[in-house]
Amino acid sequence: MMSAARQKPMYRVVKEYLLNKIKTGELMPDDRIPSEKELMDMFQVSRITVRKAIDELVIEGYLYRLQGIGSFVKKKEEMGQTSNLIGVFLSSASDLLSIGILKGIEQHISSLGFHAVVQFADENSSSEREKFKKFLELNVSGFIVFPHLSMSQNELIKQLLTERRPIVFVDRTVEGLDGYSVESDNQKGAYDVTKHLIDVHGCKKIAFVTWETTKVSSVRDRFRGASLACSESNASLTLIEVRRGSVREQCKALKSFDAVFACTDLLAVEVISGLQMLGMNVPKDIAVVGFDDLLFSDFVRPSLTTVRQYPERMGEKAAAILLSLLSWGDVPIKKHYVPTKLVVRNSCGCMEHPHS
């Protein structure tokens, strides 16, 4: 009997012991289960092993935790109410970034028996509400959300946050929606690329060009990082918001600058095209840099100097935080950051170099 038990991972042995006590009625609803220390002594295992067993029973809906007190048996009617589905709400505005985030989420949750249900935002508030309602009908355990600006008007998501439903925002946050988040270290990335323009290329007059407002955290943090680099070196930074679909027509306003820091690689490519249509040479007449390091950034001409993000790492971290919320009900740090990397190519004025 014992040899069969030893073939199982020990956390499973602990889990099955507790599950058996619950199912036979030895542990009744709202009964406190043995403490972690008692279970460690009983099975001669580590705290990590005991926690893994309890975590799974919490996630599967058999137990609930009271912080600092212990773990308790759920009422029968509440058992199993949580599902193994995670609602993932992504932006269609940056497909490559969203795909990387989704890949990271799936890699993390699939090994733990969870599955992602994916919806894409279209910034239509009524269709967005229906998509969130669909998540609720499917009884998802929690949400990972790539928010956009109009989502701050979404009363349903505000209600979910008020009810303390497990939600993790990924890539950015927007004003009016306060919760857990995982983002790139946008401020540091923007500081690094702006510092490169100033220190290596002598740029003194830089335009920061964006489609979105600084109410979006990623835009705000990139602008802050660029501002910090400029203030240290007595360079000027001008914030310019442009309209989607008419970037080329708005490039005349950029002719007087030494450099353009476009908030995304997609925008940077549009800016380069617009400047070239005006007869300007990039980078000889004006430097242009971006942010993202999307696949095409190395193949456009000139190749794009940019800041590399790691969307898969963002997805993995967001999933890990969400599962911690499902298990513990709380995570001490609300904002989490993934490092970035400066990738120097030609659009800033540097010569061709080996690929990063």
Strand arrangement, sheet containing 236-241: 236-241, 205-210, 259-262, 287-289
Q: How many CA atoms lie within 13 A of 6 on its CB side?
A: 4
Yes or no: say if 152 and 123 are a contact pair by the CB < 8 Å rule: no
Give the CATH number of domain 186-309; options: 2.170.120.12, 3.90.1530.10, 3.10.310.10, 3.40.50.2300.
Answer: 3.40.50.2300
In this structure, which CATH number among 3.40.50.20, 3.40.50.2300, 3.40.50.1820, 3.40.50.800 belongs to the domain 85-184+312-338?
Answer: 3.40.50.2300
Q: How far apart are CA 83 and CA 240, in angstroms?
A: 45
Segment 192-226, tens digit of pLDDT: 999 999 999 999 999 999 999 999 999 999 999 99
Domain with CATH 3.40.50.2300 in the chain: 85-184+312-338, 186-309
Q: Hunting for tokens 């298990």 — which residue is that? A: 327
Short-list 306, 273, 271, CA closest to 290: 306
Digit-coded pLDDT (tens) for 109-136: 988 888 999 998 776 667 788 888 888 8
* 3-class DSSP assignment, residue 197: helix
CATH topology of domain 2-78: Arc Repressor Mutant, subunit A (1.10.10)
CA-nearest of 342, 321, 346 to 332 is: 321
Phi, psi of 122 (to 5 degrees): -130, 10
Tell whether the model's pLDDT for residue 60 goes beyond 90: no
Confidence of residue 77 (pLDDT cuts 50, 70, 90): low
Residue ranges, CATH 1.10.10.10, the chain: 2-78
pLDDT per residue over 218-248, tens digit each?
999 999 999 999 999 999 999 999 998 889 8
